A and B are shown apart, each in its own frame.
Chain A
Amino acid sequence: SAVISQKPSRDICQRGTSLTIQCQVDSQVTMMFWYRQQPGQSLTLIATANQGSEATYESGFVIDKFPISRPNLTFSTLTVSNMSPEDSSIYLCSAQGAVTYNEQFFGPGTRLTVL
């Protein structure tokens, strides 16, 4: 199985600022994903982070608001831009490996509070 770490684990930010969340996997993986989990809710996919190309965004999420990078097979970042209180959520990174093709592993999440 893959071990995934995220930084920061939590943050409190001011309205209008941006935060970049880092996701590091301990092995090379084929697919990486970013999910949002609003308080008391289920997980909603923001985008698929593609290595070496632009991320694929789900309906309702745009690159200007959630720019994503994936420079290699073990690392990705998600930026939450121009934040508002509605962006307060847990952001989770997940990965699907070449070997463990049938499983997606999740990071511990980043709890973001926007004031």
Chain B
Amino acid sequence: AQTVTQSQPEMSVQEAETVTLSCTYDTSESDYYLFWYKQPPSRQMILVIRQEAYKQQNATENRFSVNFQKAAKSFSLKISDSQLGDAAMYFCAYRINFGNEKLTFGTGTRLTIIP
């Protein structure tokens, strides 16, 4: 069974600084997707960034980028120029490419932005 592990229950960063959230996963599949979702206090789940396993290039979305290490099964999220609005729970998630497209989530990291 696939598992997703986030070893940092809480992180904090000064506003305008950079922070990296860690995620590791375990799977025997070769074709899959990885995601980072953000859940602010409003509890709306928002997709931050997506990475296809077959792509070697790391995904980027404005201030958000990932470091995808397929062999190490590692998928970290880097947030640059942190803003107060980035404060939220961040969940790493995994999904195989074909078949049942259900998401498997990690336990989450609560990110606090210090003004």
Give A residues with C-beta under 8 Å from B.
31, 33, 37, 41-45, 48, 56, 58, 90, 92, 94, 96, 102-106, 108-109, 111
Nearest CB in chain B to that of A47: its residue: B102
Q: Known contacts being A102-B33, A108-B43, is A48 close to B107, with CB within 8 Å?
A: no
Q: Is A103 a contact of B50 with CB atoms below 8 Å?
A: yes
With most chain B CB atoms within 10 A of its CB, the pick from A56, A92, A102, A104 is: A104
Known: A42-B108, A45-B103, A45-B104. 16 other contacts (CB 8 A): A42-B91, A42-B107, A43-B45, A43-B91, A90-B43, A92-B45, A94-B45, A102-B33, A102-B50, A103-B47, A104-B95, A104-B101, A106-B46, A108-B43, A109-B43, A109-B44
Q: Which residues of A are found within 8 Å of B105, using beta-carbon distances?
A: 42-44
- B56 lies within 8 A of chain A by Cβ: no
Q: How far is the CB of B1 from chain A (nearest CB, A)?
A: 10
Cα–Cα, bound, A44→B47 (Å): 17
Cα–Cα, bound, A103→B106 (Å): 17
Q: Is A48 a contact of B91 with CB atoms below 8 Å?
A: no
Contact string against A for B residues 81-111, beta-carbon threshold 8 Å, 1 for contact and 0 otherwise: 0000000000100010000111111111000
Cα–Cα, bound, A90→B47 (Å): 18
Q: Which residues of B are found within 8 Å of A90, using beta-carbon distances?
A: 43
Cα–Cα, bound, A36→B107 (Å): 13
Nearest CB in chain A to that of B100: its residue: A48
Q: Is A45 a contact of B91 with CB atoms below 8 Å?
A: no
Q: How far is the CB of B20 from chain A (nearest CB, A)?
A: 20
Contact string against A for B residues 39-75, beta-carbon threshold 8 Å, 1 for contact and 0 otherwise: 0001111110010100000000000000000000000
